[in-house]
């Protein structure tokens, strides 16, 4: 059972809602994935004008927990303002906090992220920060009140998978009791399974499903991969070895002498 800020979920797969070919495809993909949390990007203009009502109605029909995000924000001030509008529009204290530093990599601005996270937590928000695998930033986010961390696997939409596995393993080991959700850069179901095998609590993705040839089938594939990875982690993976280890031990097995003369 996945627990985030006291709320429990049976699915460990979170889906974004952008880039789908059609609203119908989005709906079918979310249903096929079994996801119980979907992220929604909020722009100031749509919040003020209450535009896009058809899209919001579709999101409500899915029956999922809505996790608004501050995608596109370039400063702590902008992210804080967007989060407050999201709370008013969606009636939730949950916010996926994004403060972007670089237009090419969409890497998080860790300084602005920590600043915004502390301010929003003090204002009653339950913050899920999109961060990197940087350990010092993670420490400051947790100290600032974040009870969940969302480190990237790779740059958003890059589909490169877990590009810094050692650092991600260190982060997992350093925060054994903090829910960690891999966010961004996942390209294949095997990437998602690998993250779950490392002990991460959930995976959030968008592009790998939305831009697949068949988003509905890909959503199903990711759902199964996340479940398989979690089961493998819970079962206990064997450690890799440099040398072979026979599945049938030689010691203690009988040997029979063959008499070729008979």
For the annotated catalytic residues, the residue numbers are 96
C-alpha–C-alpha distance, residues 98 and 160, integer Å: 20
C-alpha–C-alpha distance, residues 68 and 85, integer Å: 10
Contacts of 103 (CB under 8 A, 6+ apart): none
Contacts of 140 (CB under 8 A, 6+ apart): 114
How far does Cα 124 stand from its chain's mean position?
A: 23
On the CB side of 108, how many CA atoms lie within 13 Å of its CA?
Answer: 31
Q: Provide the 3-class DSSP secondary structure of residue 253.
A: coil
H-helix or E-strand spanning residue 13: strand 13-16
């Amino acid at each position: 059972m996945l627990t985030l800020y006291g709320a429990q979920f049976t699915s460990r797969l979170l889906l974004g809602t952008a880039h789908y070919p059609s609203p119908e495809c989005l709906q079918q993909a979310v249903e096929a994935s079994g996801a119980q949390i979907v992220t929604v990007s909020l722009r100031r203009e749509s919040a003020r004008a209450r535009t896009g009502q058809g899209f919001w109605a579709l999101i409500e029909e899915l029956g999922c927990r809505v996790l608004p995000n501050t995608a596109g924000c370039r400063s702590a001030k902008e992210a804080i303002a967007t989060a407050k509008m999201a709370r008013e529009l969606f009636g939730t204290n949950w916010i996926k906090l994004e403060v972007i530093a670089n237009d090419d990599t969409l890497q998080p601005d860790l300084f602005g992220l920590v600043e915004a996270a502390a301010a929003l937590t003090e204002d009653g928000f339950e913050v899920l920060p999109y961060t990197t695998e940087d350990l010092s930033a993670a420490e400051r986010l947790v100290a600032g009140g974040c009870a969940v961390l969302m480190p990237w696997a790779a740059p958003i939409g890059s589909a490169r998978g877990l590009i810094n596995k050692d650092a991600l393993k260190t982060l997992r080991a350093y925060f054994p009791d903090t829910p960690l959700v891999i966010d961004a850069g996942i390209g294949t179901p095997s990437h998602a399974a690998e993250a779950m095998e490392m002990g991460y609590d959930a995976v959030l993705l968008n592009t790998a499903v939305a831009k697949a040839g068949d988003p509905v089938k890909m959503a199903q594939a990711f759902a199964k991969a996340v479940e398989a990875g979690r089961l493998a982690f819970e079962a206990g993976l064997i450690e890799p070895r440099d040398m072979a280890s026979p599945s049938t031990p030689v010691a203690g097995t009988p040997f029979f002498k063959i008499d070729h003369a008979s």
